[in-house]
Amino acid sequence: MRRDLYRTLGIPRQARERDIQRAYLKLARKCHPDVNPGDRQVVVRFREIQEAYRVLVNPAARQLYDRKGQVLPPRKEGSPAREKEAASPESRGWENIIRDVFHGETAEVDTGASRGEDLHPVLEVSFQESLKGARKDIVYQREAACTVCGGRRFAPGAPVGECGDCGGSGLVRVRRGPYQVKKICPRCSGAGETSTRFCAGCGGKGRRLVTEKRSVQVPAGSDSGTIIEVPGGGQPGKRGGESGSLLVTVRVQPHPTIERRGYNLFRTVPVTLAEAAGGSTILAPTAEKKVSLKIPPGTQCGQQFRLRGKGVPLPGGSKRGDFYVTVKVRIPMVTDPGARRLLRELEKIYPENPRVRA
């Protein structure tokens, strides 16, 4: 089965020719055999990239591929040796790739919209909130358009004119060897206009830090390190690009007596000598409420009991982990003579020496 040519270049099916060229240049530069000498997998990957570009940059070949999924074979020109050389990735230098794409004309860097950066604040929640889930407010700082200049960077009322370096286009041409590339004008930062008086509120940046408050839902069963994404809550994009995301990292406060391991919870519960020796039913405190726990006769110190489904909720909320209770027998200090006599009588009834088996 043939690979999806659009997926090979990492572009959508409605991509324009310019987008195809940019994607091809980026991948060809990364996967070129000259950059990865001796790696045969890179050679195979580079051939796939070349084939995808050859088909998709040709309107007729692309139309045939979109309609029927068929790929036209490359045109054969010249001798077989020449054809083999032209088809070999090892023989295609990086300068030849640039020349193929731009036909010796001006190459352009990506000067379009760019996505804003993600922000990574930390949200501290209680142990109970992490188990049950909770809606929490988080306060953080992000950049926003300056309220003084409206993001234009210039002082209100200041004369604004066309940038003389780029002629108002926001782009300047720079020569890179035999080629010319376009880059964002350093004088106007791509705005195409400039002034002699910049905004005092933002220092001519057009943005300033603001404090924002967002409400996020902490899912039930969250643990320290859980990330909650708020799309659009990050830094604003540049030149009309979308804003980044707010990636909130959850930090759970430790519980004084309960330990979490994955989706299971563990706790040590004290019992009396009489409860451990003769058996009893006690109320064991779990993470949410007290539940009945049967202690069989002869329970030893350190013995563990499992309460099914009393642990941490799993994703989806339909199942839960388990709650493990470790028993710790409290031995009283016997000083009363009558109590000592009772212990000696009990020892006569149960004369077992535990050290014999040790």
| 76-85 pLDDT per residue, tens | 544 443 343 3
Q: For the beta carbon of residue 252, count every other beta carbon within 10 angstroms.
A: 21
Domain boundaries, the chain: 5-105, 122-252, 258-349
In whole angstroms, give the CA distance from residue 111 to residue 32: 24
CA distance 149 to 201: 8
For residue 357, give Cα distances in angstroms to 315, 351, 352, 353, 354: 46, 14, 10, 8, 6
Q: What whole-number distance in Å separates Cα of residue 48 and Cα of residue 247? A: 35
Contact 126/175 with Cβ under 8 angstroms?
no
Higher pLDDT, 157 or 241: 157
| Residue 212 pLDDT exceeds 50 | yes
pLDDT interval class at 204 (50, 70, 90): confident
Dig out the tokens for 70 from the structure.
């068929």
Pairwise pLDDT comparison (343 vs 271), residue with the higher score:
271
Average pLDDT, the chain: 82
pLDDT in the model for residue 105: 45
pTM of the model: 0.59
Residue 241 has what pLDDT? 74
**pLDDT range class, residue 37, cuts 50, 70, 90:** confident
CATH of domain 258-349: 2.60.260.20
Backbone angles phi, psi at 149, to 5 degrees: -105, 0
The dotted CATH code for 122-252 is 2.10.230.10
CA distance 57 to 49: 12
Both tokens of 168, joined, read: 């108002």
Instruction: Calculate mean pLDDT across residues 326-348.
Output: 89
Percentage, residues of the chain above pLDDT 90: 35
> Hey, what CATH topology would domain 5-105 get?
Helix Hairpins (1.10.287)
Query: Of 325 and 198, which is predicted with more confidence?
Result: 325
pLDDT, residue 112, reads 53
Q: What is the structure's pLDDT at 83?
A: 41
The mean pLDDT value for 228-234 works out to 91
Tokens of 214: 């967002």
**pLDDT of 128 above 90:** yes
Q: How confident is the model at residue 239 (pLDDT cuts 50, 70, 90)?
A: low
Note the pLDDT of residue 113: 60
DSSP 70-114: --PPPPP-S-HHHHHHHH-GGG--HHHHHHHHHTTS-EE---S-B
